[in-house]
């Protein structure tokens, strides 16, 4: 059931660490070499918690590496520290509400398609979203140059 997203939780055993995930250890090593770490959530990004809560696939195996960053005086990954990983499946109210909204729109599609106000509003919002995406893409490309 997609209302229960799979995830993992790593409590903070180290002061600072980075998490890499992949379907195999080779993929994790490639992600480490490319510095493509796993997203640990907004709470960790904003500094509210040191714990990492990352999403993982419920359909296959997932390899996980927890790496201490390199410091001033050498390789940070050389030190070993205990680390625990907890796999969790929590109910997501946002996914449930999105599925209810999608079901409502699907069942009422014939009525909504004949409603002029809905068509104009949907078209306007679609145009605004697409133009915002194009603008962000252009600004992002200019920032890289």
The answer to whether residue 83 sits within a structural domain is yes
pTM of the model: 0.57
The answer to whether residue 105 sits within a structural domain is no
Q: Are residues 80 and 23 in the same domain?
A: yes
Domain containing residue 127: 114-144
Q: Is the dihedral of CA 111, 115, 119, 125 positive or negative?
A: negative
Q: Are residues 75 and 27 in the same domain?
A: yes
Q: Are residues 11 and 72 in the same domain?
A: yes
Q: How many domains does the chain have?
A: 2
pLDDT tens for residues 11-46? 666 667 888 888 888 998 999 899 888 888 777 777
The answer to whether residue 30 sits within a structural domain is yes
For range 102-120, the mean pLDDT: 91
The answer to whether residue 86 sits within a structural domain is yes
Q: Are residues 131 and 83 in the same domain?
A: no
User: What pLDDT, on a 0 to 100 scale, did the predictor assign at position 1?
Assistant: 45
Q: Are residues 14 and 83 in the same domain?
A: yes
How far is residue 119's CA from residue 70's CA, in Å, rounded to a whole number?
A: 55
pLDDT tens for residues 44-74? 777 777 778 788 777 778 888 888 777 655 5
For range 111-139, the mean pLDDT: 92
3-state SS of the chain is CCCCCEEEEECCCCCCCEEEEECCHHHHHHHHHCCCCCCCCHHHHCCCCCCEEEECCCCCCCEEEEECCCECCECHHHCCCCCCCEEEECCCHHHHHHHHHHHHHHHCHHHHHCCHHHHHHHHHHHHHHHHHHHHHHHHHHHHHC
Q: Are residues 85 and 123 in the same domain?
A: no
């Amino acid at each position: 059931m997609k209302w229960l997203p799979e995830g993992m939780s790593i409590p903070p055993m180290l002061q600072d660490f980075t998490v890499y995930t992949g379907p195999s250890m080779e993929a994790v090593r490639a992600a480490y070499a490319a510095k493509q770490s796993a997203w640990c959530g907004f709470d960790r990004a904003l500094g509210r918690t040191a714990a990492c809560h990352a999403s993982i696939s419920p359909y296959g195996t997932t390899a996980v590496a927890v790496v201490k960053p390199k410091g001033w005086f050498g390789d940070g990954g050389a030190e070993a520290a205990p680390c625990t990983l907890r796999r969790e499946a929590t109910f997501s109210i946002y996914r449930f509400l999105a599925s209810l909204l999608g079901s409502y729109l699907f069942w009422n599609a014939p009525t909504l398609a004949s409603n002029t106000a809905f068509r104009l509003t949907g078209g306007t919002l679609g145009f605004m979203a697409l133009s915002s995406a194009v603008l962000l893409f252009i600004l992002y490309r200019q920032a890289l140059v």
